[in-house]
Amino acid sequence: MFRRIEKHSPRVLITGGAGFIGANLAAHLLATTDARITVFDNLSHPGSALNLRWLQEQAGAHRLDVCRADVRSATAVIDAVKGADEIFHLAARCEGGAESKADFDVNATGTMNLLEAVRCSPRCPMVVYVSTAKVYGELSWLGVRPHGPCYQPVDPEFRGISERAPVALRPAHDCSKSAAERFALDYARLYGVPAMSLRVDTVAGPRQIENHGHGWVSHLVYSILAGRPVTIYGNGFQVHDVMDVTDMVEALMAARAYIGAAKGHVYNVGGGKGHAISVNQMIGLIETICHRSAVVRREPSRPGDRPFYYADTSAFAEATGWCVRRTLEQTVRSVAAFWHAQLAGLQVAQTRPRRMAHSFPRAA
């Protein structure tokens, strides 16, 4: 008589799981897998409570567990990691200025807490860490020139910033994120932890609530739809690599599938050349799609603003077969649809800070 072998459903831990990327990832896993999902989040970011309620309404939500805790608590992290087979580490803080110590505690110390818990876990779960393309700094070595409404590289053979580009850290937030990334790679090298890192620039899509200069694409869409003015620092020629959150989730799934080959490595993910767009061009695109005119206020550029970035994603594509699929137009439409469906009547969408740092947006 044969005994039936029960298939083990993976247990997935998502730190920052109620955030913008985390909520989209959790929803994708609920819809496409039989995994048990634990959302680990302190719910401090604007929109996280709204995202959590949305997740709890999804089909398969009976497989969703919520742990309201902070990665700065080693005890809470150890408890959360105990049963995990797979971990997506998205928890981050990037306020800067007087909040730099808190940023470091969350980004660097929080990541160390997680990696130590993983190292001691008999399950040895994989860790996919989401870092930032800001580790490349201002890219002052990259020559650019104005061309129409944007900057473009002087070198006609430029194919994007690759992982071989030098790391150049200035703001404290970038240092703490880079330290966290270094910890992840060192734990893979020294202790065999199946960990890897993805560097991203701008991720946009539904479920993003802009806050203190982060989420610049969603801020532009929400402000233009609501008739609120937007402030641009500098000439608006600054170019960013914009990737849809759906493609970001697919990148995380690709990293998960190919963790055996990807562990110990860092990869750039982004829209690449085809999704490089200046602030001026993004405003024009939003105006066209949303049939609204932007009210623009301009102020001088600030020291440290990066004029140009888009990623060379060939290494990750070769390792996993991943590629971007959503167009910039689709991304803007999805952000606008989310605003109409869930934010238009909410006070939270009407009280966000009006002056945003579009020339130097944060990653995710």
What's the pLDDT score for residue 113? Answer: 98
pLDDT tens for each residue of 211-246: 545 799 999 999 999 999 999 999 999 999 999 999
DSSP state of 154: S
- Region 122-131: what's the mean pLDDT? 97
pLDDT tens for each residue of 276-335: 999 999 999 999 999 999 999 999 987 778 999 999 999 999 999 999 999 999 999 999
* Per-residue CA distances from 224 to 205, 217, 336, 349, 355 (Å): 16, 11, 10, 12, 13
In a domain, 68, yes or no: yes
Provide the whole-model pTM. Answer: 0.92
In a domain, 252, yes or no: yes
pLDDT of 119 over the 60 cut = yes
In a domain, 355, yes or no: no
Q: Residue 220 sits in which domain range?
A: 11-350
In a domain, 4, yes or no: no
pLDDT tens for each residue of 28-58: 999 999 999 999 999 998 889 999 999 999 9
What's the pLDDT score for residue 282? Answer: 98
In a domain, 248, yes or no: yes
Q: How many domains does the structure of the chain reveal?
A: 1
CATH for 271? 3.40.50.720
In a domain, 2, yes or no: no
pLDDT tens for each residue of 78-104: 999 999 999 999 999 877 665 688 889
Sign of CA dihedral 173, 215, 77, 254: negative
In a domain, 361, yes or no: no
* Per-residue CA distances from 175 to 132, 218, 314 (Å): 10, 26, 25
pLDDT higher at 2 or 97: 97
pLDDT of 154 over the 70 cut = yes
In a domain, 51, yes or no: yes
pLDDT of 356 over the 70 cut = no
What's the pLDDT score for residue 8? Answer: 76
Q: Identify the three-state secondary structure at position 314.
A: helix
pLDDT tens for each residue of 56-82: 999 999 999 999 999 999 999 999 999
